[in-house]
Amino acid sequence: MWAGLLAVVVIIILASGSIGEDFLRNSGGEDLLWKGPVGWSRVGFYPGVTFAVDDKEEFSGLHSLTILCTDSSVRGKQPPPNWSQEIVEGLPLGRQVVLSAFIKTRNVAGFAAAAIQCLSYDQQKILVSATTGSLQGSTDWKAVSCSLLVPQGTDKVRVSCLLSGTGQAWFDDIELDVR
């Protein structure tokens, strides 16, 4: 009887739909392939911008993702240099999602932040977006977060860890959770 009850409970938990599930791969930047972080893409290659996995600065584990920018003309460019990850399968339509991350900065003249965008393919547009609080100057690791409701019609959810302006930013433990 207890086994049967347990099975029912497990089925209910599984069917209740991934509450707390992290939709991002490799949230902590620990999973590397050819020195690149699995699941993360570099977006916004401009002169003076360097993307790397850093094994000397980390919030947890052994690595973080970093962006270094030495050219002040990069500030304001779209897209800003960012580490990006896109989710197209199993999207939590109609559900609230929370993006959380830890960011560290050094001499950032613009800002560093993380962002969520919900995009539709057919209209090729951003349906809704949210950005975490931003960090400037030099700060130790700080938790940031933002949330939004993923609207019906979303085909793709994009998470970006971005640096606008000169300086260096590190990103770690980047998670997108359903609430």
Q: What is the CA radius of gyration of the chain?
A: 18
Neighbouring C-beta atoms of residue 4, cutoff 10 Å: 8
Task: Choose the stretch contacting Ca ion; rule: CB under 5 A; options: 2-10, 48-56, 145-153, 168-176.
Answer: 168-176
28 binds Ca ion (CB under 5 A): yes
Asked if 45 and 27 touch (Cβ cutoff 8 Å), the reply is: no
Task: Choose the stretch contacting Ca ion; rule: CB under 5 A; options: 28-36, 68-76, 144-152, 162-170.
Answer: 28-36
39 binds Ca ion (CB under 5 A): no
In the complex with Ca ion, which residue's Cβ is closer, 58 or 92?
A: 58
Neighbouring C-beta atoms of residue 112, cutoff 10 Å: 29
Closest approach, Cβ 153 to Ca ion, in A, equals 34
End-to-end CA distance of the chain: 32
Q: In the complex, which residues of this chain contact Ca ion (CB under 5 A)?
A: 28-29, 58, 61, 63, 172
